[in-house]
Amino acid sequence: MAKTSTEDVIRRYLNYLQDPASVRDEAQITKLRKEVETAKDPVAKLRAMSALQRAQQVDGTDARKAFVKVARQWAQSEGIGVESFRELGVPNADLAAAGFAVRGRRPARTARRRRRARRVPVADIKSAAGKLPKRFTVKDLEAASGGTNATVRKALSEMVSDGAVNQLGPDPDWSARGRIPILYERA
């Protein structure tokens, strides 16, 4: 009997992780709805409504606490490793609280490591500006040079102060949504 109740604790928590609404006590909610409907006194109705709202809110705190108490011992008796719990979405923090040896965080399966963009020197951006049409935007220069927005803006700032490029202002032909791009013109 103890094994079954421990399994029920584990099952309830795992069900909560997959579908939080599954831990709601529907019988209690039905009972509280009837109390709200049948309450004659406004204060009693207010209390019943409050109790109903609490019962309808999904809170996995109790399921988590119960899981943390029994998970490690149950897993050892069943021969279940920590990775199996991880595969079912149990957070490392909960596994550690249950007493499992958890080493670091496991990277998410869908997360991909972004490669750092190659460095593009300001001089390369300035030479790329010479190959663009006479009028261009920051985005045009980013695409032509491969530089980041910050590096391109730095290069443009230097070119404007050197007199190689003039800042014309907002593009008068811009009709799309969003921020109007600033036009630059080679001197």
Q: Which of 102, 170, 110, 105 is nearest to 135 (CA)?
A: 170
- pLDDT exceeds 50 at position 157: yes
Give the residue-averaged pLDDT of 87-99: 90
Does this model's pTM top 0.85? My answer is no
pLDDT of residue 1: 40
Residue extents of the structural domains in the chain: 2-97, 122-186
Calpha distance 6→87 (Å, rounded)? 20
Sign of CA dihedral 126, 130, 134, 137: negative
pLDDT of residue 136: 93
pLDDT of residue 141: 92
- Domain 122-186, CATH: 1.10.10.10
Q: What is the 3-state secondary structure (H, E, C) of 162-187?
A: HCCEEEEEECCCCCCCCCCCEEEEEC
* Reported confidence tier of residue 2, pLDDT bands at 50, 70, 90: very low
Q: What interhelical angle do 138-145 and 149-162 show, nearest 10?
A: 110
Average pLDDT, the chain: 86
Contact of 152 with 142, CB cutoff 8 Å: yes
pLDDT tens, position by position, 14-26: 988 888 877 777 8
* Reported confidence tier of residue 104, pLDDT bands at 50, 70, 90: low
